[in-house]
Structure 1
Amino acid sequence: MKLDVNALGTFYRMAREGAGLAAGRLTSMTGVQTRVGVTKLNFMRGSEIRAEIDDGSEKVGVRVELSAGLEGHSIIIFDRDAALQVVQTLVKEAASEEFDEMDQSAVTEVGQIMTNGFIDGWADVLGTVIDVSTPDFIEGETAEPFFGDLETAPSDEDLALLFRSQIEAVGREIGYKHYLLPEHDSMSEILERQRVDGSDGIEYDKLVGFDKLAQQGATEVASAVTTLTGIETVVEIRRLNFVSLETIPEEIANEKKVGVAFSFDGTPSGYLLFLFDEASAREIVEATVPSPPDNEFGEMGTSAIKELGNIMASGFLDGWANVLDTTIDHSPPEFIHDMGAAVIDPVVIDLGENQEYAFVFDTQIQAADRAFDCDIYAIPNEDDLERALNDLDVDRVEDAKTTAEFPVDEVESDT
């Protein structure tokens, strides 16, 4: 299966259109004002999908099987409390703890109407008819009841193309997740029809290999943080997204962020950002500067964060260069201390001059024993990424070695 940026763009528009229709129908049915939140095409491994669902909370969902123009499964999963709100909105009384037949019927009706909105939007964009089975009501605390018996669900190490849409209720929390798990051959046929003549496209297996490489890079970053700061960290969340450039800033929380930004040149070129909340950035300064200053983000603190960013960037990008048998140079670190989306707006503006969409390697690193996190955004140039993937030898990925070293003594003496 080959992935063409134009074809993926069509699917992205399809997801946005479907989310818009679903939001409108949810508003009509419940009277709750809604808006479409972030829409993404995720490439996620089965293990990551299951970890996202297996958070210990109770959930209820509505699942349908798709056929004809698009084969696969569409699943809407509500947090249990959100489902209770849906029931109360429709039947004007509190739902029972066990979700009795009336409660299940109310949730199923909402789920079906939302699903039909999504699917009608997809069918409009694809210019086809998509048949939908009778909806099934499902409840559980793990992924097993929702995905366990589906052939379209990916195994732990398989990379699935996953459609994720979010609808936000205004003034009311109705938390849910929507998953479209398309059948592989059906998706391949649709992608082929949407390809632009003359486009080479990207072999799906090579994207899988590059995703593994990004995972190795994130693990190397976590190791660098632990080595330099003594803070034990792990790669907690990792996704490969295909998104519209204009939506990337929506992912950044509207709070003060501290970080380091790089541009990188070679095959591929692009941008790399490491972002911390202020509390995490203070942890770094206190762990790496012998006598931390009162102003953690003054000259000494800024120098410490930039030096850590330098080492993290090398650890992330060296593996790419080794596997691709090329050179990737990154710029000097640029220190960032700003509100939310402002930290990434310059990157989006620059890339937006030549492309509408982007693959974004989106990773979160967390500490096990304290409030610490680091968000990594790697955004390659679209054309460069296609060339890099076409040259990628997937068999070399597992043997990729980074060459970054962690000169702790030098960092401490510099700061």
Structure 2
Amino acid sequence: MSPTTIAAHLSLVVLMTSFSVRGSPIDIDWFSPLRVNKQIYAPVMRDLAMVLLEPDDVQIVHPTNLEVNMTVRYPKAWGCVNITFDSTPRWITTRPDVITLCSSDVDGGQVHRSLPLYFNTTSIGKATVEVRLEYNGTRCSNSWLRLAVQLSPALTTTSDILGWIYTISWDVSFLPQIIHNWRRRSVVGLSFDFLAFNFLGYVTYSLFNAGLLWIPEIQAEYFDRHPAGVIHVRLNDVFFAFYGFVCTCVQIAQCFALKREVGQRTSTACWVITGLATVAVVASCIAVPLAPGFLWLDVLYICSYTKVIITAIKYTPQLFLNYKNKSTAGWSIWGVTLDFTGGLFSLIQMFLLAANYDNWTSILTDPAKLGLGLLAIFYNILFFVQHFCLYREEPKCIEEKSPPKTKDIDPIMRF
């Protein structure tokens, strides 16, 4: 299309809009060039038309029929418009399939109508329905209905209860180590690398959970990318992440205040790994306004991947330290037991939610929670083996095996 033709068509669009705004009975079909080039006048038509759904986010129990109120606005000069539907997946049907609305009054102005829509569900799961207002085959406005059809409210209640059980287990699991250190007046036998990894892990995990639960813009980005997805983050997940961060800070403070052995410090490898992970998160934040298609949701995913990677390696220094000392005296087995319980119930909750909505692939959309549960179970089994099988006969005190020179070293330099 030549520039002259485009300019002429745009002039017609401006003319059509000005007449419509004044309420003149102008029919868009009078502009025959615009019927051929719908991509030019479609934006103007979208400004003149509107379709809204109330409510637009619904949770129901299968099998149930749903009634939603629809509000439609369009110029009277258009005469008739069609309301069409498109669902993903296609186990939601509407009655009727297509709605045609006509206005006998073409003297100008706007048509405002409200009418009910009826939806039938034939399956469970998460689904979206697009409601489109079309005129002359052109989509002028659209609205979305997000529908969550669950198998049983009892499964939702059970998953919530399990969520708080595993949250309490994980929360309480921090306390035995803190109490263990305080009673011994020592952190000998506790890996400083483990604490450094834990600190970074709970910072990134807090960002991921809080962002996905409390920021509507990020939730919208999630559902745009996963229309039938399930957000597995709950309030208990956010509480646990914040609480874990605070308790880790308390344990780090104990490392400065309580006794430790000579040479007990954070390793260079740990500093390098945590530094690279921090740079990756910061770089992803900078990339959001610069890289098209890179969203804040992707930043949260990087935070979750960081948490999973940290969890995958954070227990290794403690396992090696136990092996080196041939003892688990500096490591609280009660904390390990509670950590194992939390990981187990976390996985059970995820599978219950997936079963309730028949959406098993949604488990993979929360890699942090899935990885956290699996890795907690795996490593804690290894700690059980060390404590109950390999090193049952422990020396009276690990400190006896180390030189008692601790006060001559600057605490800040030793961490």
Q: What TM-score bracket applies, with the shorter chain setting the length?
A: under 0.3
> Quick one: higher RCO (CA 8 Å, sep 6+), 1 or 2?
1
TM-score, structure 1 length as denominator? 0.20
TM-score, structure 2 length as denominator? 0.20
- Who wins on radius of gyration, i.e. which is larger? 2
Higher strand share: 1
